[in-house]
Amino acid sequence: MTVFKNFNMYKFLFFLLVICLFGCNSKQTIKTKYFEGNALGTTYHIKFFSEEEVNWEKGLDSIYEVVNKSMSTYLPNSDISKINKGDTTIVVDNMFKEVFLLSKEINKSTSGYFDPTVGNLVNAYGFGAEELNYLSDKELDSLFVLVGIDKMELSEDNRLKKENINSYIEFNAVAKGYTIDRLAIFLENNNVDNYLIELGGELRVKGINKEKKQAWRVGLDNPYQTELKREITAILELKNEALATSGNYRKFRQDSITGQRFVHTINPLTGKAEKSNILSASVLATTCAEADAYATAFMAMGLEKSKLVIENLTGIDAYLIYTENDSTKVYSTAKFKKQLVKD
């Protein structure tokens, strides 16, 4: 009888242990995951919440590797570098195809102001990675005739066909945003519902910041900040959306007569470096690729043309910091303004 009682007691204790192990595991606190590093020539920071046991770092790194192999103009053996050197045998992958078709779409909706074939001119005028070359008008004209994404098409077997083999294409104004979108898909496919992904200043979020139990909050840079000190001009709440900011305000010029500040940017329609009164363009969109591309386009378009495009777009909101005479002003869509944090 004593043995039987002891057996039941041990059985009961075992049962409690099983409940504890499985019950506690099912109510396990969701862990904060944080990754940072260098990718695509810039830095990234990713924060999310999950209890999944996944090789997160390997999964994230694999996305950077695929994007680089497909679209990095800094890697001589990438697909896009080979295409720019005249290799017509390259069959592009789905990532390249998606970015190319999106670029075509945004090129059309911005009346040609977003154009990923303008890179040679950007460098020639000294606004890119290279120093100013002081090319003659004739030399600049010879580069301009190569500009135009409408002069390129993808064949049925996914080969890029160019009217002129010397035309140059780069996705620097959309690739960061697109990479963020691919990272977001990876997280969501692994049951992550709350995350913030930042790559080179571009962002995409979903859900909330579970540590602070509030919406994700990010800062918008002050256009007049210095290289040594970052200053925030506004704070924005994000909810299941992407944010990209474009601005070459650190390279602004000042008119010696009027005192007005402006930036130079390449107009893809003329091939000329023209004044733009927009110092920075922050864009909200569903995807970061769209936000990235439109922010770049608005910088080239200037305020009035940008406002016309924004008013005719669905799902695109903007916060444009611009100059008028000797003062700085802000244009903001209603949705963007509503998400600005007041306190």
Q: Which residues belong to the annotated binding site for Mg(2+)?
A: 173, 292, 296
For CA atoms 16, 17, 22, 26, the dihedral sign is positive
Q: Which residues pair with 33 in a beta bridge?
A: 48
Torsion angles phi and psi, residue 61, rounded to 5:
-65, -35
Rounded to whole angstroms, how far apart are CA atoms 187 and 276? 38
What per-residue string of b and e applies to 92-123 under the rule 16 or more CB within 10 Å gives b? beebbeebbebbbebbebbebbbbbbbbbbbb
Q: Would you list which residues are annotated within the binding site?
A: 173, 292, 296
Provide the 10 A C-beta neighbour count for residue 300: 26
288-301 and 303-311 helices, crossing angle to 10° = 140
Cα gap 40→179, rounded to integer Å: 9
DSSP 74-104: TSTTSHHHHHHTT-------HHHHHHHHHHH
User: Looking at residue 209, what DSSP letter applies?
Assistant: B
Measured between its terminal Cα atoms, the distance across the chain in Å is 72
DSSP 232-248: EEEEEEESS-EEEEE--
